[in-house]
Amino acid sequence: MRLYLIRHAESEHNVAQVYAGVTDSALTNHGMLQVEKLAGYLSQQGVRFTRVFCSPLQRARATADALKSTHGDTMGKPFVVPCLREKDYGSLEGKSWVSPNVNVKEKRDSFTPAETFDELSSRAKEFVKDFLLPLLRDGSDNHTVAVVSHGVILSVIWRTLKQMRVPPCSSSSSHGIPGDPLVMWSNTGYLELDLSMAMATDQNQTALSNLEISVLAINSRQHLTNLKRTRGIGNSKHDPKQQKLGSFFHRRQ
């Protein structure tokens, strides 16, 4: 199975540099350009997704919907999976990550703690068990799967996959990727993996005990080459009803 772990495009809160884990932040105009570049690039590379899973938050759903737009009806509607939502930062939601500024009184009276790593790990394992494992076990090598989500939960899913494998994580020498890489995600960056496993002899087995992983790309952003931010409006919230400047000038001519 070919697996793409894709982070959503740029959102309003990314630009504002504030925590927006479960806050439903919209994409910026620049983010929509990133989405279009990603979808176009993957299509040109001959990538045809057989399944797309995405977070319920709109910044991930908009990114997933763009992938569908290049596939027509062959891909089907993205599956919205609640456990793919981003980490809940509690009282830090909406606070600047540069200077959170949570005062002592707020901490004492109404401070909500952030989601713990154990809670994130539980969600990641749930997703792998309920959605990836059945595809790996069906005996088909033809699955090409996209998981469109968020930086923190994607890193925990990646960690979960690494922990479940038995053989060391292999890598593509052409990319010069070390055997057990630390992965980060830029907006619309993706981790590309090739996953395979032997058929389980125990039907009740839930761990990917025979999982083999080949890392093909880390935080791939080739699709963003030469993409420039539009001055003024690039950081603004994207309005789906807003006409593209290019089509406006084309009509005026």
Judge whether 212 is annotated as a binding position.
no
| Burial group, residue 224, by CB count within 10 angstroms (0-12, 13-18, 19+) | middle
Q: Is 80 helix (H, G, I), strand (E, B) or coil?
A: strand
Judge whether 86 is annotated as a binding position.
yes
Residue 121 carries which side chain, given as an amino acid letter? S
Judge whether 87 is annotated as a binding position.
yes
Judge whether 141 is annotated as a binding position.
no
> Which are the contacts of 136, defined by CB distance < 8 A and separation ≥ 6?
1, 195, 196, 197, 208, 211
Judge whether 103 is annotated as a binding position.
no
Judge whether 13 is annotated as a binding position.
yes
Judge whether 223 is annotated as a binding position.
no
30: annotated active-site residue: no
Rounded Cα distance, 189 and 217, in Å: 10
Judge whether 10 is annotated as a binding position.
yes
Judge whether 4 is annotated as a binding position.
no
- Measured CA to CA in angstroms, residue 93 lies from 14, 18, 113 at distances of 12, 7, 10
Indicate which residue of 30, 71, 86, 93 is catalytic.
Answer: 86
Judge whether 143 is annotated as a binding position.
no
Nearest residue to 119 (alpha-carbon basis) of 215, 191, 21: 21
| Burial group, residue 40, by CB count within 10 angstroms (0-12, 13-18, 19+) | middle
- 70 token code pair: 């290049």
Q: Where do we find the tokens 């999982």? A: 211
212: annotated active-site residue: no
> Which are the contacts of 173, defined by CB distance < 8 A and separation ≥ 6?
none
Judge whether 238 is annotated as a binding position.
no
Judge whether 7 is annotated as a binding position.
yes
Q: Which residues are annotated as a binding site for substrate?
A: 7-14, 59, 86-89
What residues act catalytically?
A: 8, 86
Could you list the residues known to form a binding site, using ranges.
7-14, 59, 86-89
